[in-house]
Structure 1
């Protein structure tokens, strides 16, 4: 992957993080809860104990925006603060990971991601 693409993907992650932080603040979420829950999606790494195939699939499921986007929509539509807050924290985590250069995992190993130059 070329350096400009990596930079663009990191900027996209930063934008996602910024939007989630803004939304969380606008809805009045508690910052102690935010800080306490921010790294919870990384618990998906435990699945690597079952092997790289299951580990990568589980980690990737916890680090794509699809699931928290659905949770956010449900939270907003049902006016459920817990779902909305959880979704925004989850999205912030994903954005933070991307901004720092952490990507979705390949089955080749934990350090092989969609953001690395080699598979």
Structure 2
């Protein structure tokens, strides 16, 4: 996919069925995350909120340093793309969720699990809305 300087952001070319499946997963994961946060309260709620916003912290990488191109709506600076793509891969969130299985981590296990769960909620929401990974140039794929 090529983009001209005047072109804006484009969304994922995923089929409506794939986006609907991500939407269903989003709803199920959101219900689970809210249930877990309400069940445990306290730091688990904080961890869930942090997990939900964590993937988009990659945008902060793009606002620092010199800008190679004039700002183009929808385009992420190249230096932020690897971080953005890493933080928007479901497997990374699942690995975080599995970190709660490490022995002797029971004091933080629930919070870590819910951080990863909320992170996965974020990714599912993005995919359902048509926002996927970025190209090396910073555009939506």
Same fold per TM (> 0.5)? yes
SS where residue 90 of structure 1 aligns? helix
The structure with more radius of gyration:
2
2:29 corresponds to 1:20:
yes
Give the structure-1-normalised TM-score.
0.72
Residue number in structure 2 paired with 1:117:
none
Residue 43 of structure 1 corresponds to which residue in structure 2? 57
1-side partners of 2:97 and 2:48: how far apart?
18
Please, what TM-score do these two structures have when normalized by structure 2?
0.63
- Structure number with the bigger relative contact order (C-alpha 8 A, sep ≥ 6) is 2
| 3-state secondary structure, aligned to 2:15 | helix
Shift of 1:4: 8.5
Higher helix share: 1
Give the structure 1 partner of residue 82 of structure 2: 57
Structure 1 residues 97 and 4: CA distance shift in structure 2, 3 A: closer
4+ runs of 1 displaced by more than 6 Å? none
Question: Once superposed, what is the RMSD of the aligned Cα atoms?
Answer: 3.0
Aligned mates of 2:79, 2:13 — CA distance in 1: 31
Greater fraction strand: 1
Q: Number of residues paired by the alignment?
A: 111
Contact kept? 1:102, 1:113, Cα under 8 Å: yes
Distance 1:54 1:16, change over 3 A: farther
What aligned pairs does 1:23-102 form with structure 2 within 5 A after superposition? Answer: 23-27=32-36, 28=39, 30=41, 33=46, 36-37=49-50, 38-49=52-63, 52-75=77-100, 79=106, 80-102=109-131
